[in-house]
């Protein structure tokens, strides 16, 4: 009997913090479970993390977008918009390389998590995003239209949320019909809830682009020394080796793999973190109470933090204003809950079966 060769699917998350990479972990696992051979493609810490999680898979480095971020959140949008020409050039170069990768690795399908140039007209291409609308203040209409034009180059757009209310992404992931082939696939999380004994009163976990990640790390390292409880602090810095440092009431990790992170979440009573969408999906999966500090100037994170506070789920504070005493507000809010969506991978992956 001749064994049928497994179809290769290119999975390419954006290197913007770790969120896009980590939410691709359940996608990659599902592809393997359904008989496909994933090929990983990204750059920077996103690629480094996925290579650690899946050392047995082929991995390809894509060119980075080389976006520079403002130290002052007030200038975040201005600096980002000023780099649009450079970003468009990077996307074109990315797409040229992807055509070569499709040929060289005999790719049968593509799943891009927010990488605008990772598509190919000759194979089914999927775009994963929770941002059908890209919030940028008074330029939201402009940035959303540009983003939607890129999404139209893909065969399908998978939104990791539920279509109904209540949902997690709000107006980010829910729009009137713009001619997009949208499928709501339910929240994505690599983590699972487990009944473990509580070991930490608070888990602080960082991610996101520099220099804001480092700026928040420095602030929290000072503030949390006054916290009356046990703290586990995951810095979100992917390095060759795991490093653990204990100082007073705080146990620091530079990074954790999925298994260790899942255990740490389940052993922690409350969570202090950014209001990135992947983090929100993880917290909902685990049914956690949390406190958010949005990345300064990132309208998406500010909107999500405001939305969840307004609905009585999670409190938040601006980075510049945060004090450790703010954490006392957590008990006044309900916390996030699992939306209980049913992921139908077989139906989603049928797009690649036809090729």
Q: pLDDT tens digits for 86-104? A: 777 888 899 999 999 999 9
* pLDDT at 2 > cutoff 80: no
Q: What is the pLDDT of residues 141-196, one digit of tens each?
A: 888 998 899 999 999 999 999 999 999 999 999 998 778 999 999 999 999 999 99
157, 175 Cβ separation under 8 angstroms: no
Query: Taking all residues of the chain, what is their mean pLDDT, rounded to a whole number?
Result: 91
At 320-330, the pLDDT tens digits run 999 999 999 99
Q: Is the model's pLDDT at 68 over the cut of 70?
A: no
Task: Strands of the chain (E only): list them.
Answer: 8-13, 37-42, 59-61, 107-113, 125-128, 156-159, 182-184, 200-205, 231-234, 244-247, 250-253, 268-273, 289-292
Percent of the chain exceeding pLDDT 70 equals 91
Over residues 105-138, the pLDDT tens digits come to 999 999 999 999 999 999 999 999 999 999 888 8
Checking if the pLDDT of 50 tops 90, the result is yes
Bridge partners (DSSP) listed for residue 170: none
């Amino acid at each position: 009997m001749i064994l049928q060769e497994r179809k290769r699917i290119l999975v390419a998350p954006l290197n913007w913090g770790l969120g896009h990479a980590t939410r691709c972990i359940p996608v990659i696992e599902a592809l393997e479970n359904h008989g496909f051979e994933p090929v990983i493609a990204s750059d920077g810490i996103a690629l480094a993390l996925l290579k650690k999680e899946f050392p047995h898979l082929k991995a390809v480095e894509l060119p980075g977008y080389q976006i520079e971020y403002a130290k002052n959140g007030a200038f975040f949008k201005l600096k980002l918009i000023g780099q649009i020409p450079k970003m468009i050039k990077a996307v074109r170069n990315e797409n040229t390389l992807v055509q070569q990768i499709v040929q060289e690795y005999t790719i049968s399908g593509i799943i891009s998590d927010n990488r605008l140039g990772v598509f190919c007209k000759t194979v089914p291409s999927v775009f994963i995003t929770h941002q059908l609308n890209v919030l940028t203040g008074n330029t939201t209409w402009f940035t959303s239209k540009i983003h939607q034009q890129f999404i139209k180059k893909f065969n399908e757009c998978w939104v990791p949320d539920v279509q109904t209310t209540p949902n997690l992404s709000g107006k980010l992931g829910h729009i009137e019909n713009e001619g997009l082939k949208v499928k709501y696939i339910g929240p994505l999380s690599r983590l699972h809830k487990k009944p473990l004994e509580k070991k930490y009163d608070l888990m602080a976990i960082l991610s996101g682009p520099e220099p804001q990640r480092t700026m928040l790390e420095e602030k929290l390292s000072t503030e949390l020394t006054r916290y009356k409880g046990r703290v586990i602090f995951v810095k979100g810095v992917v390095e060759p080796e795991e490093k653990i440092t204990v100082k007073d009431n705080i146990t620091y990790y530079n990074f954790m793999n999925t298994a260790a992170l899942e255990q740490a979440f389940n052993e922690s009573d409350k969570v202090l973190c950014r209001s990135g969408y992947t983090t929100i999906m993880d917290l909902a999966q685990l049914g956690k109470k949390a406190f958010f500090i949005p990345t300064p100037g990132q309208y998406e994170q500010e909107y999500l933090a405001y939305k969840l506070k307004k609905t009585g789920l999670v409190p938040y504070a601006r980075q510049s204003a945060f004090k450790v005493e703010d954490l006392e507000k957590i008990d006044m809010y309900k916390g996030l809950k699992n939306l209980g969506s049913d992921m139908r991978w077989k139906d989603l992956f049928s797009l690649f079966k036809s090729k």
